[in-house]
Structure 1
Amino acid sequence: MTAETSRSAFDCSRRDDTLLWLMPVRREPADMEHTFSTEEIEQYQYVPVNSAQAYRDRMFFLLEEVNRVMDARDDLDRLIGNNPRSRMYDNHRNHAAFMATVFALNNYGMLLSVVPWVYRAYASQGFSYDYFPVHLRAWQKVLEENLPPDDAAPLKGIYGRLIASHETFIALSRETTFLEIPAGNSRREEATVRFLEAVLRGDSATSLTISSEQVAGAADLEDFYQWVVRPTMYRVGEMWERGEISVAKEHLASAVVNRILAAHYLDFVMKSDPTRGTVIVAASANEFHEIGARMVASAFELDGWNVEFLGADTPVEDLLEMVAEKRPFVLAVSATMPFNIEHVSRIIERVRALPVWVRPKIMIGGLAFRHLSDPSGLLGANGYAGDCAQAVDLVRKWSGEVIE
């Protein structure tokens, strides 16, 4: 997944607290809302801490071994639909990081919700459905050969359950429909159609003209991002997922949207004067979705905070260096893709190890956490914000303000 969308709530409206402050570009598929029964989830047995740690400790070695096993197959080109092998390697790397998180949290509802999307996304790019059980069996083989039996057995069991559910995942991936986004009103709907056409063409000038028609001042920013930018980017992602546009065109659309956000930032957000402390906002390492985090950063800035927005794919060491230099009151870290929860967890571990006089409050947010009942508690953060309004309110609460 490469492009993005976000919840836009510059005035921190409470009218829609179900939207997440860092969301992926493509429309949210209905399978992400599918609730698996307790019986289905309980078929995935608890993985002991030692097994989860063994997987995490040797993850990169195991990953290379899985790549080697897959590369040795005579039928690999058929399995991956003659795609470049780098695309398969990307999936394997993301799979390993995601499974490390699943094993550490023992959260199999999250696993079952994500797998159908993976089937659909890669099948739309030409991968055969036969690829998925072959890939999973490669993991079973590598785990058996490279981990102690007591550590490997529970992990292999989880992979076995995934393989046994192959036909179910195929059915879910094919039957999924996409959630509709309310049009708001006919004027916004017409603007959204025009904006989509412009960003897909890479036409920044027309995109800016359309946005300027919708945004006369800071008070209009929320509606524009909510009713124009968000559905536009969802549609772009859906088009990519269905193979209607290339990755390059998806990137082009995101780049145009970022230019529009920058223009409105200069016109309306940058003029606000900071009256509070410092907040650092960043997407985790390997997280390339940043539009939502950018919105949250702007919301903090409009609320009077001095904001350091670091953007996408922030390396842990660089982030820690910035924390030491800026001494922020809050560090807000976002992740959209579930396989990046592992990176967020590592950031939290490192920040919590800092001396207390340097250590900021840690806020997490993003679509990656939506299947966790208590994201901050599980990962050790100070709090979780599901949208821009919640993020602003949480920081105000931490600073001792009374929230109306």
Structure 2
Amino acid sequence: MDFNSLAADFENSLISMNKNKARSIFKTIEKFEDRIFFIENSVVPALRKIGECWESGETSLAQVYMSGKICEEIIGDFSHEAGMRPAAKPKIGIATLEDHHCLGKRIVSSVVRSAGYHLTDFGHGISALELSKAASEDKTEILLVSVLMLHSALKISELKKFLAASGAKTRIIAGGAPFIFDDSLWKNVGADASGRGAFDAVRLIKEQSERTDA
């Protein structure tokens, strides 16, 4: 089986937002272990590449969003058929802090779930205090925080203080426009990491998970 050819065709199907073609390509892979290999070495890299192309202006936000949704559905169906469950660890949460836009959070959620993680969505327009309570009660280990405006990004420092006061050791990964414009902002507000796009989330989750376990 020519995995390189399949990977290229799969990536093109995502870029063209052709869900049926993407599904048919994945279904040509019959063995369980080959499907796992394809997910790890073709699906996730394809999503990352599409995200990088969006950052350079070569793909649209709609393509990024739909490619994530398509992969989320395909892998979700595969996991269900194989009796697999999303990774229970680390416990991951996501929310849009203060702001009411949801697109960024939806894209990140799709990508993270496509990588096999379970994700608790704490919603949007939520305050720092409300989010800290929800994350503490859920025993969230890694919290993905999306923001659109600078004033919302600055609220992460309050979120960090509320979490610390509750005794939670939740690690915060920040994302959104303010952190792209100022690549040192995440440090200034007390976040543990920040990504430029949705596809950084999976890598950062792995990194922060290793630090949590250490």
Deviation at 1:384, TM superposition (A): 0.5
Q: For the residues of structure 1 that align with 2:91 and 2:157, how far apart are their CA atoms?
A: 18
2:145 maps to 1:333: yes
TM-score normalised to structure 2 length: 0.64
Secondary structure of the corresponding residue to residue 168 of structure 2: coil
Deviation at 1:185, TM superposition (A): 5.2
Q: For the residues of structure 1 that align with 2:112 and 2:67, how far apart are their CA atoms?
A: 19
Q: 2:91 aligns with which of 275, 278, 295?
A: 278
Paired amino acid for 1:281? I
Q: Could you tell me whether the CA contact under 8 Å between 1:281 and 1:297 is conserved in 2? A: no
Cross-structure match for 1:315: 125
Q: For the residues of structure 2 that align with 1:226 and 1:277, how far apart are their CA atoms?
A: 22
2:19 maps to 1:189: no
Cross-structure match for 1:343: 152
Pair 391,239 (structure 1): closer, same or farther in 2 beyond 3 Å? closer
Deviation at 1:268, TM superposition (A): 3.4
Secondary structure of the corresponding residue to residue 332 of structure 1: strand
Secondary structure of the corresponding residue to residue 271 of structure 1: coil
Deviation at 1:261, TM superposition (A): 1.0
Deviation at 1:315, TM superposition (A): 2.3
Secondary structure of the corresponding residue to residue 165 of structure 2: coil
Cross-structure match for 2:184: 374
Deviations 1:224-257 (A, max 9, x none): 232367438947x75659xxxxxxxx48x83574
Pair 217,394 (structure 1): closer, same or farther in 2 beyond 3 Å? same
Paired amino acid for 2:213? S
Q: Could you tell me whether the CA contact under 8 Å between 1:191 and 1:210 is conserved in 2? A: yes
Pair 277,348 (structure 1): closer, same or farther in 2 beyond 3 Å? same
2:203 maps to 1:393: no
Q: For the residues of structure 2 that align with 1:232 and 1:324, how far apart are their CA atoms?
A: 31
After TM superposition, list the pairs within 5 Å mapping 1:205-216 onto structure 2.
205-213=20-28, 216=34
Secondary structure of the corresponding residue to residue 119 of structure 2: strand
Q: Could you tell me whether the CA contact under 8 Å between 2:79 and 2:85 is conserved in 1? A: yes
Deviations 1:189-214 (A, max 9, x none): 343334433x2xxx533332234447
Cross-structure match for 2:35: 217
RMSD: 4.0
Q: For the residues of structure 2 that align with 1:277 and 1:232, how far apart are their CA atoms?
A: 24
2:193 maps to 1:384: yes
Pair 389,234 (structure 1): closer, same or farther in 2 beyond 3 Å? closer
Paired amino acid for 1:392? K
Paired amino acid for 1:210? I
Q: For the residues of structure 1 that align with 2:51 and 2:135, how far apart are their CA atoms?
A: 35
Secondary structure of the corresponding residue to residue 189 of structure 1: helix
2:19 maps to 1:204: yes
Pair 205,300 (structure 1): closer, same or farther in 2 beyond 3 Å? closer
Q: For the residues of structure 1 that align with 2:161 and 2:145, how far apart are their CA atoms?
A: 14
Paired amino acid for 1:231? I
Cross-structure match for 2:46: 227
Paired amino acid for 2:20? A
After TM superposition, list the pairs within 5 Å mapping 1:86-105 onto structure 2.
none
Secondary structure of the corresponding residue to residue 353 of structure 1: helix
Q: Could you tell me whether the CA contact under 8 Å between 1:333 and 1:365 is conserved in 2? A: yes
Deviations 1:238-285 (A, max 9, x none): 5659xxxxxxxx48x8357414313303423952563x5633233443
Deviations 1:158-184 (A, max 9, x none): xxxxxxxxxxxxxxxxxxxxxxxxxx9
TM-score normalised to structure 1 length: 0.38
The structure where strand makes up a greater share of residues is 2
Identity %: 15
2:172 maps to 1:353: no
Secondary structure of the corresponding residue to residue 310 of structure 1: strand
Q: For the residues of structure 1 that align with 2:14 and 2:169, how far apart are their CA atoms?
A: 39
Cross-structure match for 1:288: 103
2:65 maps to 1:254: yes
